[in-house]
């Protein structure tokens, strides 16, 4: 069963929004515990509806549980602040290793939604590697130079708009390198000159 895009977005962003709200009223440690719990619940709901869990939310959830657990166990907020850096570096590394070994992992993840030429997948892979590295760097700068509340505000209200803007910037690449299907070619006007 295919999940409605708004529900999918709510399940992916809901735990982070709840983390933000709980942190503002109860502090980082209670917020982290709630973040861990809501992330696991969101994965469960996603699986119950779609009977599958996409790889990126699954990897992200694993990092939330591990680094959130370290944050709570050691009573040190450093670990939950490091999580975005490590997640983004991990995704960049996976894509880079795939690129170097001739496997475009971004194609594996997105191929059901997009049909691109190999050149298009290559360009997208390189772009996403760069973007993940930029996000990792931004996270490091923000958490090291600002308060926990400012870092969390950036995480909730800065990273998502940046990701949407970056995704919008990749649309021309996707359009330019889209694989033409027989149906779209047959619907194209015939040049009679």
What's the token pair of residue 38? Answer: 């809501």
Q: What is the per-residue pLDDT across 43-76, written as a single tens digit (0 to 9) for each?
A: 999 888 888 887 778 888 999 999 999 999 999 9
CB 127 within 8 A of CB 100: no
Domain boundaries, the chain: 1-74, 77-180
Q: Angle at the Cα of 47 (from 36 to 23), degrees rounded to 5? A: 20
Task: Please state whether the predicted TM-score (pTM) of the whole model is above 0.75.
Answer: yes
Comparing 142 with 164, the larger pLDDT belongs to: 142
Specify burial of residue 143 (Cβ count, 10 A radius: 0-12, 13-18, 19+): buried
Q: Which of 70-74, 81-85, 138-142, 156-160 has the lowest mean pLDDT?
A: 156-160
φ, ψ for residue 116, nearest 5 deg = -120, 160
Sign of the C-alpha dihedral, residues 23, 27, 32, 38? negative
Residues 173-189, mean pLDDT to the nearest whole number: 67
Q: Which of 13-22, 125-134, 182-191 has the lowest mean pLDDT?
A: 182-191
Q: Which of 111-120, 129-138, 157-166 has the lowest mean pLDDT?
A: 111-120
Residues 84-102, mean pLDDT to the nearest whole number: 94
DSSP 101: T
Residue 190: is its pLDDT beyond 50?
Answer: no
- Across all residues in the chain, what is the average pLDDT? 87
> pLDDT band for position 5 (50/70/90)?
confident
């Amino acid at each position: 069963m295919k999940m409605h895009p708004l529900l999918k977005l709510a399940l992916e962003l809901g735990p982070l929004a709840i983390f933000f709200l709980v942190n503002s009223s109860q502090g980082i440690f209670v917020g982290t515990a709630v973040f861990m719990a809501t992330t696991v619940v969101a994965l469960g709901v996603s699986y119950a509806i779609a009977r599958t869990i996409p790889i990126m939310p699954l990897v992200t959830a694993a990092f939330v549980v591990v680094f959130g657990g370290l944050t709570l166990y050691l009573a040190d907020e450093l670990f939950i602040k490091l999580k975005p850096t490590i997640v983004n570096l991990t995704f960049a590394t996976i894509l880079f290793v795939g690129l170097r070994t001739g496997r475009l992992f971004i194609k594996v993840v997105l191929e059901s939604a997009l049909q691109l030429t190999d050149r298009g997948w290559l360009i997208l892979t390189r772009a996403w590697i760069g973007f993940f590295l930029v996000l990792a760097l931004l996270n490091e700068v923000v958490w090291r130079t600002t308060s926990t509340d400012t870092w969390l505000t950036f995480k909730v209200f800065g990273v998502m708009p940046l990701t949407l803007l970056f995704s919008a910037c990749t649309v021309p690449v996707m359009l330019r390198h889209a694989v033409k299907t027989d149906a779209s070619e047959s619907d194209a006007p015939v040049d009679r000159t």
